[in-house]
Structure 1
């Protein structure tokens, strides 16, 4: 006879361990009595003899356990494992019983997810009275963990089975080449709102790759069926992949997708290119001999002629293409900041006057690089082959590329949304998806400013309904009296719609000083986040205590190798290449090349706006070429801040004149 009590202990422990994860059942339509008969028939001869009316282990309590838990399995490291795996391995009797049950259960196909309405199957012990003696009997028993209990088992299993079917069909029907094509369209920014779907596409593609390599594909499907990506086939982006997998023409498939997701008046900014278009463009490229011209790189200082440099720092002179002849600056001076200069009010000078009156006598120049200047980061590019024909409308091979993937400042967003940014005190909320976040401000006297009681202070409330934006803001401004005391600021998630681009930023402004506080986690449905407590004295913010999870957002950060919110030395100042050599083609830009500024991302060297006239008929192909022939990062590049003559902006410069005088100037563009 074996040790049945140890068998019970092992089986109970095994079930408890399995229950920490997801549980499944095998044997669709299985006759549960077959499990019980397998148990009884598996005992070695002479180990389950008749006891009173039935055999020793023919127990109705244990029978209930085996019928309900006997075919429950887990999926561990891609393999199906049963309740009986390894149970009583050292026992000569019950190791045989467990092995027989294990073999039988593993022979059955995965059926569905395990759910139960009951909390317990079987009883740990029972007691009987025989001849005046109490007998204690041990039984197989198990508890159903809360995560596996549900009132409507049929509905839960039906939902799971539907998810399995959708996942299985997607894995089998969606072609790898179609998924790769969609990722390329998204990365090339061709697909309307494609970036919203990129994660779904790549996650499903990853699952499909793992599925093809799985030892037990059915187990893989079950283990991942509840992953949101498993329902990819039935999503709007999934229908696009279906079409491509079925052989639908790329242009037709994308147009069908766009009719589902795009507004009626949407026009895709970048058309798809066809083989015929590529063939025609390549014919022109070959005829003009400009294939080498398409190879681009970051420009170096040694590429630029001295005649196209407006100003250069002394330390930079030896690196110039044409030496130092003709340069205006004759002497170097110290770079010390100067007492009180940092706090002084800068002189406002138009850029034309700065170039004419200040630059010729400047010995050193440092720019205050603010976080808000991130969109102004710019790199100069050129061709890899200097002798190759030019691509652009001006007579040189230089181009430029801005860091264009950054949204406008919160203040500018509020202005565009119709909010007031000129009051004495302002608190603005900005977020990045279709969620409906609400800004709540409690004044020192307890007055509550929010969308239901705006008190003539809350003037922007976006994503509440109707048109949704991915650059929403809310704004509270005090234009007249600003009560002194402590303000409490909160953000509430009124309606959660998105799971991407989560978090938000709070911007405060008083007395001309702007501060940011960011929350980088998702805000749950109906969740309220305490942004912080703001102290105001004399109408000015004197202190701000951020709430839990809030991070100061106006602190300096590393961008392109430089640190923001501080002065950075300027090495070179020049116009944009379309104004080199006395050319005047299009809008003029002013480039301030900064020491140590290095763009660490592959950057476009070709833009359609730059192309010469005979290449314009092939704009669609060149749009793709611009993305596919990016300049690889290099350490000796020309990068810094750029400002267009047609866009109002400003930057603060600390200038040391050749005579030693120091000036703080706000250059106005």
Structure 2
């Protein structure tokens, strides 16, 4: 403490002491801080000062600062603690014994929690002309959430520590190692969503094994709690917990793989299984108001020009960018250099995306893609109000969706169940969630009836029938198909029947019809037992697309791109969660080919955002947010120009590209990511 007008600091060098505290604290500005059980720090400080100065420094503001913040520590990777305020190497002699004692107490204490504060300054720098001990908290460490107080966050971190410790005991290192091995092998569906937390647990186990000191082990866990992404500490109640349970219980690899795929299904993963209650809605209204994110929920289609990160752009778009940012003569198009009179066709090649990106893409002048799978259609979406707070886990307002679901769920289910998804003249597939027994029926042009009771008629075949009899599957699928050249000409009628109700009497379902490579989708809701509804009725002539009779379907026609042909690529980008310096890899890793003229002219309901992509603050109201986006169209479809085809690390690609470089054209097939 130092009085501006009356106190002569030449003897004790108080200004130097005060600056030394601030300088010491600033060296920890980028590290998490922790509270300890240190006690009576102000008395220790006074008792180690010269007797004649004790009364002068007996100050309530300094007492508050020392007792509240004097025991703060930082934790190194090996669990060793450092005092964030006290360092004898830069302390005036007058305060040296006090600093040594305070540091010793802090380093011998036990960590009690993660330090969180909403104040930009710790302590009271000056009152009534007197200086006091204080430090400034770095901007990125100031808690400024309008939803939860600093005290609530501190309490949550303590609970995270308890839960994480319990998880470390329940799931030993060898089980976690097995989980990481399985996830890295990519034999588990959508494994990248869980790989991050598995590696986090493995690294934490290994770090704790590096020391025999129990207190240091606890400190390592506290450091993990302070730095872990949202949800990582809740091992038992998350997907990694269910995987580890299966491993610990000794299930076979086949069983583990099947159970994991069921739980990671895009249609149910982190999705509400029922509508929100009135109480849920009222609570959501309060949280949205507190966070000021009402406008953040409004979504619109993104434009090509808004995309901030590209792996590659067509030569034409690069020129446009140069003209926009160029000088006086930027609007003049330079003469093309003609090195060849004719385009030379090079041999076809098969390679991985990783190799293509490294060796071929940098020299590409133009690229076209073969559009042959409408489930690959995707669109980038962004916030309608760019000034509204971001609601997504990553540091931008962009998200995306696929025409065929997050990863083409129908294809995955059909093939996993042993059915034939590709290579058909006509195929009709039904999916739903739950143990209710829905049945897919077809009345063929010959008047024959294909259903569970007669699975093969007139070259048509119901090759998958689920949830009948004693069979139970939570993620069922049914599939009726005709191989090429065998589909009869005439009138087809497909309908869905609820044969046995085993749920709440309301079962959403999706039916996908494919005719000669063109896909139509129907979305419906089955009522109770006995429900029956037509989904597709049409007249078929070989080699022609039918006129579909249905009021609740969409097709790839909505994307303004013809399938079975090459389409120009304007640019290639990665998924928005991977943009910038802080990628959120557990939300998936995708490559998007943005196409000339591609846009989804449907309303895009239910796809403005997905609840698993939202910030953790919104997790408790995800049921209400899911209902909101399911009923809210995406805006500005007429301006959408950031749409195209998407491919993820989770599945095979089988993407055919036509690439022109230096007047040479070649066909390249990309079979997988790497």
Task: State if a TM-score over 0.5 links the two structures.
Answer: no
TM-score tier after normalising by the smaller chain length: 0.3 to 0.5
